Amino acid sequence: MRGHSKLAVSTLSIKSRRPWYWWLAALGLCGGVGYLIAYWQFGLADLNGLNQRLVRAQAQNEVLQVALVQQERQLQIERVAQETLTKELAQLQQESTTLKEDVAFYKNIMNTPAELGKLKLQSFSVSKSAQPDQYDYDIMLVQPGKNSKEVSGGLRLVIRAAGTEAVATTAINLNFKYYQRVTGSLKVPHALHAGTAELTFTETGAKKPGLTQQLTLAD
């Protein structure tokens, strides 16, 4: 028999080694992933902090808005009060001026020498009213003297258009001692052209007017 020769076959294990730059790339990738995870966690925490700050800011904003509304209401109340006080002060000043004028006028009547029973027409005016087709009149009768008697009679005001008869008339009974002011308005026909206003005052029991005054009306 032939002797069989046995060949000892040794098994070789071949290990492949990756280049060094692969390891460097893997290391860089791991580092990048770790950085991204850390950055994401940091950003999430920062976002939560921003949300909390936003909530606090909104709450403070609401408080400030409420305070602002209250301040505006307070300022409005103070403004209205100031306007009211200004109007009242102006009204009081006007009333004070009017009272002073009335007192001076009354003193003048009392201190003016006059014939007993002598009635005077202190003022008489007729002017167009702010209302259409209307005239306003203002009449002041005065009887000076401390011991003036009572005056009673009828006041008559007639408005006439140019070249026509009376178009508006008013008659008023008066009874006074020292002075009497009469004011009012008269309606006239539409588009009345310039005419006249005639005033007469006839004392009770008299046959003819004791006072007569005529004015020319302006267009």
The pLDDT tens digits of the residues spanning 65-113 come to 888 888 888 888 988 888 998 899 888 888 888 778 777 777 766 666 6
- The pLDDT-based confidence of 2 (bands split at 50, 70, 90) is very low
Q: Give 36 or 83, the one with higher predicted confidence.
A: 83
DSSP structural state of residue 11: P
DSSP structural state of residue 133: T
pLDDT above 70 coverage of the chain, percent: 66
- The pLDDT-based confidence of 202 (bands split at 50, 70, 90) is very high
Average pLDDT over residues 38-44: 60
- The pLDDT-based confidence of 47 (bands split at 50, 70, 90) is low
Q: Give the pair of three-digit tokens for residue 143.
A: 């009887």
Residue 202 CB-density burial (10 A; 0-12 exposed, 13-18 middle, 19+ buried): middle
* Residue 165 clears pLDDT 50, i.e. is over it: yes
pTM for the complete prediction? 0.53
Average pLDDT over residues 2-22: 51
Rounded to 5 degrees, what angle do the CA atoms 136, 142, 147 make?
A: 155
- Provide φ and ψ at 44, rounded to 5°: -65, -45
Q: Longest C-alpha distance within the chain, in Å?
A: 193
* Residue 172 clears pLDDT 50, i.e. is over it: yes
pLDDT at position 54 is 79
* Residue 114 clears pLDDT 50, i.e. is over it: yes
Mean pLDDT of the chain: 78
pLDDT at position 104 is 72
pLDDT at position 125 is 92
d(Cα 69, Cα 166) in Å, to the nearest integer?
64
- The pLDDT-based confidence of 42 (bands split at 50, 70, 90) is low
3 state SS of 213: strand
8 Å CB contact between 156 and 168: no
pLDDT at position 219 is 65
Average pLDDT over residues 57-72: 86
